Structure 1
Amino acid sequence: MPATPAVKRAIEPESFPWMDASRYAFCLAMEAGGAAWLSGHTAARYEPERNVVTAGGDLEAQARIVYEKARVILEAGGLGFSDVAHSIEYLAPAALGPDDAALLARLREEYLGANRPALSTVAVNSLLRPEALVEIELVARRGANESVEAAGAVARRIGDLLVIPALDAPGPDLDAQAGAIYGRAGEILASAGLGWEHVVKTTDFVDLSALRDYRVTADVRRERFGGSDASEFPASTGIIMERLATPGALLQVEFIASTQPRRGVAAPWPHHPRLTYAPAVRAGPLLFISGMAAFNPETGATEHAGDVIAQSRYVYENMARLMEAAGGSLENVVKTVEYVAPDARERYPRTGRVRTDLFDRPYPASTGVICERLIRSDLLLEVDAVAVLP
């Protein structure tokens, strides 16, 4: 018998004039675990006079549509922009200029006012709609969400969580930059009264030029987290981008910590003990799942090379196994982020059928972006997820 799903509620506005959201394999936002997890939204909207969906317009026009969508979704959940605690801005290459950064900052202030969420700026190779320039993913929670300002960054508490936005740091090489990034994160954790033992999830964005040296970051993780077995580390996702948002940066790392005890979840398949991430980590009711791809841990091979639909099914079926090991099921998943390799872009929309086959409504909130590649060049899709368990 499948596990009883945790309480969750899709946020469904009475009117959402940009599109018929019921046609898609994700919900606009999911409320669960004391927070509202919004899907990533672009300026995509249906134009009936042309019978097309488009995301066109300049950066300001697109960003305003995104914020208006977010306003409608938040208000449907009894929330507002003052409740937003975490924002991830995914930016296409044409939106990465200094004037673009100033424009986005101005719009952020216009819509969010004095509220300063933990802000991660992520340069992507492209968004799923080629004409889209910006996609914004938000997490909100009712009431005061305390800020922690340290090491030149603003982190935010979301209930038991502390979200440290994607950090970068200067340095001559990847090893030096990684050490400096973890140094900054350590300062922020200490300012919040937390330590490395409280970190439950990290997300790495790696400049393509640093891919060859990426393994050096494992030593930095061992030094900070002190684990001798993979289950003692946080969950983690690592994604390769053509470039990062800050010129000269080779690595960005976003950290999520929790005041709840961290407990690694053992995967129902071989997981090399020397890896520096756990397959999943539970903290209170929240489960953070490391990035999953169509890598067969028993054979060391990539499954379904060249077929993003089959790789998607492989990933989500394994996620179901991992959720069962954690005491839940796919019905407990509230949010996914799908990182798509460029070669999979054309067929990627067909993976929606996999989600509708394996998930029941309401489908999880979801964000999807195009990266440069994944750790293995024949992997076409990587999915990380958040679940809420009973």
Structure 2
Amino acid sequence: MARNHIQVKPEKFPWLDLNRYTFSMGVEHKGVAYISGQTGSAYDAESRSVLCKGDIVEQTKIAWEKIGVILQAAGMAYTDIVRTVDYVVPRGFPLYSKTGDVRRQFLGKSPVASTGVLVHSLLRPDALIEIQAIAVKGGKEVVIPAGPEYERFKDLTYAPAVKAGGKLFFSGVVELEPTTAENQAKACYTRIDKTLQAAGASYTNVVHIVDYVAPMTVEHYEAMAAVRQAHFGDSRPSVNAAVFHGILNPRGHLEVDVIASLTGKREEILVPGWEQSYQKLRSVPAVRMGNLVYFSSQASIDHTTGKTVVANYDLGAQARQAYQNLRQVCSAAGVSMDDIAYTLELVPPTVMGDVRVLGQVRREYFGASFPAATGLIIHQNMRTNTIFSVAAVALA
């Protein structure tokens, strides 16, 4: 087993009973740590239940305190954080800009890559924000391309990208002009080009793309995916694409996250019989580079036919098919489910009341050795007849 589960002492984590969950607070391997999404949840003695109290600023502070305890248990510190993702619910958005001051309190001037995106809701219905983080030991370097349009990053709490441990982590890339989805995608990839070049990298280093798609853009996604493929040429990345509640700026059609590896041989992982399905998706099931394996999101799809194979709205059955697909890709990549360090599970609002079944499915595929994880309620999956998807990363 490659991964090292970060053991957090209960007395240092007063907010929750950690034994109740089917995910680890964090997983570390060779100086790289994936931290599960953290909210402002805490046990409330008066109501004898776990609650998220206060506004988004107060909840953000608790989430960052939790992240600090987890990092300390891994022998790390806030200064080792290289990337964060803020998942924000609409009712928390009006005060979201004020959370930047909280970030400064905990991160100081330490550079990070960061993405913020709107979700329909979080698994805890009273949570206003969930923060996921990646940390890397050994120092880091900020990457800022030349040009006047990048001057604004001097005053922000994040950088265009951060280089650490032979890996390159981007902040989410979003463009507001021009107004069409396809042209916004072209503008996004122009910025991605500049940041890759500033880091001494190219698309041959990219292992994973996350497409946060706005609801108004779904019908144009194929055109946006074609823009991506034009930049990758003959190579293809692993991709996690889903329809989120929205981009933080309502004029945005798409936000793109990029993760690249600067060391090791890039290997696109293919599964026999799945070629036609992934040709249409303009991606590959996974990309391996060195000890890093990033997986495309999996849903309840039989990739030999491209069809959904389980009944609509049966969350447990769809999750099992998705995890079975993930297991097949692991085998093709030369890793196992024991090497999975982090999963991101996405479901639409129609199944919010059924999400507890996912804990049982995770037990079936991971036993008692769980990876770090984040679960979100989004607008919809890319295929409207699927109600579950899972993306993953392995540290081998």
Q: TM-score, normalised by structure 1?
A: 0.94
1:335 to 337, 342, 353: 342
> Do 1:29 and 1:73's aligned partners in 2 also have CA atoms closer than 8 Å?
yes
| 2:195 aligned residue | 188
Amino acid at match of 1:202: I
| 2:239 aligned residue | 236
2:260 to 257, 279, 298: 257
Say whether residues 1:129 and 2:133 are aligned partners: no
Amino acid at match of 1:130: P
| 1:318 aligned residue | 325
TM superposition shift of 1:329 = 1.1
SS at match of 1:156: strand
Q: Distance in 2 between matches of 1:44 and 1:296?
A: 37
| 1:38 aligned residue | 35
TM superposition shift of 1:274 = 4.6
Compute the RMSD of aligned alpha carbons.
Answer: 1.4
Q: Distance in 1 between matches of 2:172 and 2:25?
A: 24
Q: Distance in 1 between matches of 2:213 and 2:360?
A: 30
TM superposition shift of 1:268 = 4.1
| 2:380 aligned residue | 373
| 1:62 aligned residue | 59
- Percentage of matched positions with identical amino acids: 32
> Do 1:33 and 1:285's aligned partners in 2 also have CA atoms closer than 8 Å?
no
Say whether residues 1:76 and 2:83 are aligned partners: no
SS at match of 1:116: coil
TM superposition shift of 1:95 = 2.1
> Do 2:185 and 2:254's aligned partners in 1 also have CA atoms closer than 8 Å?
yes
| 2:89 aligned residue | 92
> Do 2:208 and 2:258's aligned partners in 1 also have CA atoms closer than 8 Å?
yes
| 1:219 aligned residue | 226
Q: Which runs of 5+ in 2 are unaligned?
A: 151-158
Amino acid at match of 2:245: E
Aligned length: 378
Runs of 4+ in structure 1 over 6 Å off: none
Quick check: 368-377 or 143-152, which moved more?
A: 143-152
Q: Distance in 2 between matches of 1:275 and 1:346?
A: 30
Amino acid at match of 2:115: S
TM superposition shift of 1:236 = 0.4
2:286 to 256, 277, 280: 280
> Do 2:117 and 2:244's aligned partners in 1 also have CA atoms closer than 8 Å?
no
1:355 to 352, 355, 362: 362
TM superposition shift of 1:66 = 0.4
SS at match of 1:114: coil
| Structure number having the greater helix percentage | 2
Q: How does 1:131-170 map to 2 (within 5 A)?
A: 131-150=126-145, 152=150, 153-170=159-176
| 2:155 aligned residue | none
Q: Distance in 2 between matches of 1:34 and 1:236?
A: 25
Q: Distance in 2 between matches of 1:174 and 1:194?
A: 26
Say whether residues 1:120 and 2:120 are aligned partners: no
Q: Distance in 2 between matches of 1:219 and 1:89?
A: 27
Amino acid at match of 2:267: R
> Do 2:266 and 2:289's aligned partners in 1 also have CA atoms closer than 8 Å?
yes
Amino acid at match of 2:45: P
TM superposition shift of 1:128 = 1.0
Say whether residues 1:292 and 2:295 are aligned partners: no
Q: Distance in 1 between matches of 2:137 and 2:283?
A: 31
SS at match of 1:344: helix
Q: Which runs of 5+ in 1 are unaligned?
A: none
